[in-house]
Structure 1
Amino acid sequence: MIMALLILLAILSVGILWLLMISPGQPAPLRDDSGQVIPGSISERVAVEIGGISQAMIIQSVDSANPVLLFLHGGPGMTEFFMEQDYPTGLEHHFTMVWWEQRGAGMSFSADIPPETMTMEQMIADTVEVADYLRARFGQHRILLLGHSWGSYLGIQVAAAAPDRFFAYVGMAQIAHQLRSEIMARDYLLRAYGERGDAAMVRKLKAAKVSMEDGLSPAWMRLRDRAMHGMGVGHTRDMRSVITGIFLPVWRVRAYTVMDKINVWRGKIWSRPFFWDDLLRDDLVKRLTEFALPVYFFVGRHDYTANPELSRAYFEAIDAPMKGFYVFENSAHSPLFEEPVRAKQILLNDVIGKSDEGVNSPLAKTDGHGTDKRSR
């Protein structure tokens, strides 16, 4: 018994030492193909007072003169910088990439955050304040805003509230009416697992009720991620498990300290209840369709977290100076990470190339496909 305890203690000690070694709390410098640090590049984590509390972000760029791209992660409260490990976008070579971790999430989580500040109005104000910090720091009149999932729900409201800060808004897996999307997801999964002949999963799905009247049952919330990933329609097309695809990768992020990694999960659990019910019930088609800046949607053909048909219907209702709708045929919920080459081409050719801010940028191309009030 004593020997077994000693062996267990040794294993735990090695595990803790390994975790400390891979958790320095600083992002790696950006390097060229020969492994040399790129002169003039930046790769740093920054903490700034936003909305009265310290909030953190990771900023990476080979050239800080490149257009700033502010990424709004999903959740609520679920950071996404970890995705760069297994699904690198390479956007730091073309943009000054800003991975801000929102109030109550990840590096910005604190048990001292007043719960009464966890409101939609405060999140919008925080986003605008972060944008103003970035505009001032990098000397750019307007920057690019990209929101993913929950971040798209936040982002499109920011775009409507403060269009003067941004030269365009990009919604990835754009939320339109999330409760309706959940109902469509369950209907699809019942058909798909039925066709596969998985009677056990069909029984579980039938018991996991979802409706416009009663919302989402606890049984559905326990089952949805596993069922979606089992069909390749979850966070990414090839992700089969939240554990292997999300939970474990977070623990490998070197830009985080050990406490940051713990706070990713504390923040996710804590943040979600403040916003989830309102997010589910809000039908954006009915209240938010007028925009004073270009609007672009990136949707995955196989996304059943934020249904692309609902995103399309919302897109059609939007009035904006320029807009574009892009379907990524090989993606589920995360086109930027699943098809980064195509996403980069669209961002550079259509979004940057057709914007007032981008026409004089060395990144801008003249052969883009963004068109006035038309989709692609």
Structure 2
Amino acid sequence: MKKYIKNISFSQVPALKVGKIILILVFSITLGILIALVVILLIQSPGKMEPLTDKNGNVIKGSISEKVYVKINGVRMGMVIKSKNKSNPVLLFVHGGPGMPEYPLTKTYPTGLEEYFTVVWWDQRGAGLSYSSNISAKAMTTKQFVDDTIEITKYLRKHFGQDKIYLMGHSWGSYIAIQAAAKSPDLYKAYIGVGQISNQMESEKIAYKYMLNYYKGIGDEKTIKKLESTPIETMDYLPDAYNKIRDDVMHRSGIGTTHKMNSVVTGIFMPVMLNREYTLREKINIWIGKAFSNSTVLRDELYKTDLRNSITKLDIPVYFFSGIYDYTVNYSMSEAYLKKISAPVKGFYLFKESAHTPIFEEPEKVLQIIQNDVLKCRNDLADAY
């Protein structure tokens, strides 16, 4: 028998059987890799909130680090609350997207905001911790999100015993948050817009032109062809074909989430999946929620709105943070928009090493501005451009 096995030729095995063997091997290896990845992700996803500690690893007395759920306008919504001192003023962070919670990214890109605020990283209706298959797509409207922001604010005021709180909106979140601030200014001490939206369709066209010039400059003919096949400069909406390439071409040209983020896979997807404070189910819900949010009317409403015509007055201090490399939401448009807004205090800050997210890219400068200007509500910034 041993001699027979040694002398058998592989060519003697019928081709069909060889094919089956190869398929079985490939399937087994793929299955093994998938099982290993799931095990790793489960180990990496205990979902327990990590306490805030000092340099010696001791839990900071009076700090807060918790995951909270509360029913707002009929929907169970989740949020992460972090603060080194729970008596700090409350800051409600309204994330981008639609449907992209940003707290899971803060392990990779720490902001330090918890030093001065009790930061509430709220996951909006249909997103992340607030995702549910029972949420009606019909309720996913701009008006509903503005109302949700106001109701979350009221809950936080009561919960923390503070008459007014600070409001920060990023990207898509700035589109929602500034409307909430205009509608209910009595709830807020100040509004901070990070990558502040004004007219997003116009901004997209500026970015498109920038990217065409960028890729022509480096001789990337393949990307040029992709861009030229979807000429959004002549459109009043973003076609699906452009949306499929948008994130990739923006990040590779340095004008995406951060100036140095070349890939959303390594820069966003992996940080989310490796965050230990979310369970695997919660992480999966982030991506399901993002897809769901973008399948509703929210994006259409965003691209059809020009805030420069609808929100031109705020009765509270207003501060805009923009990165000089930001073409996701064009920084020059944000600056021009703030000049048009009537407010008791205004401040525009341009970050020279940032693209779309200065709070991730230049957190120390952000904290300096917050400490020196925002918290002190300086009143000499109205013409400081």
If the TM-score is normalised by the length of the shorter chain, which range does it land in? Answer: over 0.9
Aligned to 1:12: 34
Q: Could you list the per-position Cα deviations for residues 154-182 of structure 1 after superposition, in whole angstroms to 9, with x for gaps in the alignment? A: 01001101111110000000000000011
Output the CA distance in 1 between the equivalents of 2:92 and 2:110.
16
Structure 1 window deviating more from structure 2 (207-216 vs 293-302): it is 207-216
Q: How many residues align?
A: 362
Question: What is the CA-CA distance between 1:212 and the residue it aligns to?
Answer: 5.7
Counterpart of 2:384 in structure 1: which amino acid? S
Q: Aligned to 2:103, what secondary structure does the other structure show?
A: coil
Does residue 323 (structure 1) correspond to residue 332 (structure 2)? The answer is: no
1:11 CA displacement: 3.6
Q: Does structure 1 retain, via aligned residues, the 8 Å contact 2:201–2:236? A: no
Percent identity, please. Answer: 47
**In structure 1, what is the equivalent of residue 329 of structure 2?**
306
The AA in structure 2 aligned to 1:37 is V
Structure 2 residue 210 is matched with structure 1 residue 210: no
267, 271, 278: which one aligns with 2:301: 278
Secondary structure at the aligned position of 1:49 is classed as strand
> 1:39 and 1:285, CA in 2 relative to 1: closer, same or farther beyond 3 A?
same
* Structure 2 residue identity aligned to 1:338: E
1:135 and 2:157 matched: yes
Unpaired segments ≥5 residues, structure 2: 1-20
**Secondary structure class of the residue paired with 1:330:** coil
- Is residue 2:105 matched to residue 1:83? yes
> What does residue 205 of structure 2 align with?
183
How far apart are the structure 2 equivalents of 1:265 and 1:241?
17
Counterpart residue number, 2:9: none
Is residue 221 of structure 2 the alignment partner of residue 199 of structure 1? yes
State the distance in 1 between where 2:253 and 2:325 align: 9
Equivalent residue in structure 1 for 2:81, among 59, 65, 69: 59
The residue matched to 2:320 in structure 1 has which SS? strand
Map Cα deviations across residues 324-353 of structure 1 (whole Å, 9 max, x no partner). Answer: 011001100001110000101111111111
| 2:380 alignment counterpart | 371
Q: TM-score w.r.t. structure 1 length?
A: 0.93
Q: Is the 8 A contact 1:74 1:149 kept in 2?
A: yes
**What secondary structure sits across from 1:215 in the alignment?**
coil
- 1:48: how far off? 0.3
Report the CA distance between 1:82 and its aligned residue.
2.0
User: Do the aligned residues in 1 keep the contact of 2:208 with 2:233 (CA within 8 Å)?
Assistant: no
Greater Rg over alpha carbons, structure: 2
Q: How far, CA to CA, are the matches of 1:141 and 1:117 in structure 2?
A: 29
**How much is the aligned-residue C-alpha RMSD, in angstroms?**
1.5
How do residues 141-160 of structure 1 correspond to structure 2 at under 5 angstroms? 141-160=163-182
Give the corresponding residue for 2:121.
99
CA distance in 2, matches of 1:229, 1:251: 20
Q: Choose 148-157 or 11-20, whichever is displaced more.
A: 11-20
Unaligned runs of 5+ in 1: 355-368
More helix by share: 2
Whole-angstrom CA distance in 2 between matches of 1:70 and 1:17: 35
> Does the residue aligned with 1:251 lie in a helix, a strand or coil?
helix
Whether the 8 Å CA contact 2:344–2:379 is kept in 1: the answer is no
Match of 1:357 in 2: none
Equivalent position amino acid for 1:326 in 2: Y
